[in-house]
């Protein structure tokens, strides 16, 4: 469903769609043009090992797809979404109200390179160093200057690294996590070596979970989970095959994407 309104309303041109995730349990307003959430944030939320009462930071939350999927899956979880782009923050706050979770999903406009710091108006008082039990994040996939930038500023910022590279995202997560807290990240499979290198020295107990498009195709995405200050060795897990015959989701993928099941990392 496409909705029309005059900017600024959380988009660059004022046009948004209302989409549904988790078989309709999550309603998501997102730009009709520009960056749009697909299945990555749903899988990210499913891989985040949060329980009721935990504090979770969605680092670079965009319109909030992962945050709202986690809130739908885990009763009582408290989520702070941190986002740099004012338009995305406006949409995420609208989505919190739309899903009836504004009391436990708070969206803060902030630069991850400076957080925590001065709390902006409407920010979450939970945004404190060492506060969060879990951080989940879907950082920009492309290194700065090594991809063709979208002409739409919001999409360009979401897809490509700017002043904050992958090392900066991981450092921000480490700064905001409580001792022994977990970081869960979804990213490109061809950057897993860089991710592991950046985790070394801060994180341990690393699990790498490949996402296979089909059973006979190499993984394009991986979910990586690590624990701050842990020393346990890394694990390479079987992963999840997303599509079967005819391009339909496999039963295992459906259990996560439609039924809200957790991923076992």
**For 200-204, what is the mean pLDDT?**
97
**For 47-74, what is the mean pLDDT?**
98
| pLDDT on residue 163 | 79
Confidence of residue 7 (pLDDT cuts 50, 70, 90): very low
Higher pLDDT, 198 or 152: 198
Alpha-helical (H) ranges within 31-179 are 40-47, 65-73, 86-98, 153-159, 166-176
Closest CA relative to residue 90, chosen from 172, 167, 16: 16
pLDDT in tens, 20-42: 999 999 999 999 988 899 999 99
CATH topology of domain 36-257: Rossmann fold (3.40.50)
Q: In whole angstroms, what is the distance from residue 63 CA to residue 79 CA? A: 13
**For the chain, what are the domain ranges?**
36-257
H or E stretch covering 57:
strand 55-59
| Per-residue pLDDT at 72 exceeds 70 | yes
Confidence of residue 150 (pLDDT cuts 50, 70, 90): very low
| Per-residue pLDDT at 3 exceeds 60 | no
| Residue pair 150/205 in contact by the 8 Å Cβ criterion | no
Higher pLDDT, 133 or 145: 133
């Amino acid at each position: 469903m496409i909705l029309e309104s005059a900017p600024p309303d959380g988009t660059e041109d004022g046009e948004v769609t209302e989409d549904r995730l988790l078989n309709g349990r999550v309603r998501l307003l997102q730009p009709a043009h520009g960056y749009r959430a697909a299945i990555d944030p749903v899988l990210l939320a499913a891989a985040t090992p949060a329980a009721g009462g935990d504090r979770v930071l969605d680092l670079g939350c965009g319109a909030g797809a992962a945050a709202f999927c986690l809130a739908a899956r885990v009763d009582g979880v408290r989520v702070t979404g941190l986002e740099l782009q004012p338009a995305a923050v406006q949409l995420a706050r609208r989505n919190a109200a739309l899903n009836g979770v504004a009391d436990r999903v708070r969206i803060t406009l902030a630069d991850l390179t400076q957080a925590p710091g001065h709390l902006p108006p409407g920010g979450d008082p939970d945004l404190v160093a060492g506060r969060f039990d879990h951080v989940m994040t879907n950082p920009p996939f492309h290194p700065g200057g090594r991809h063709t930038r979208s002409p739409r500023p919001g999409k360009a910022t979401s897809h490509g690294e700017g002043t904050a590279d992958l090392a900066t995202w991981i450092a921000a997560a480490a700064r905001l996590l409580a001792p022994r807290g977990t970081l869960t990240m979804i990213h490109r499979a061809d950057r897993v070596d860089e991710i592991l290198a950046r985790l070394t020295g801060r994180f341990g107990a690393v699990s790498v979970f490949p996402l296979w498009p089909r059973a006979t195709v190499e993984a394009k995405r991986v979910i990586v989970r690590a624990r701050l200050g842990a020393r346990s060795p890394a694990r390479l897990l079987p992963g999840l095959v997303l599509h079967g015959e005819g391009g339909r989701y496999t039963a295992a993928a459906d259990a996560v994407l439609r039924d809200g099941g957790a991923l076992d990392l």
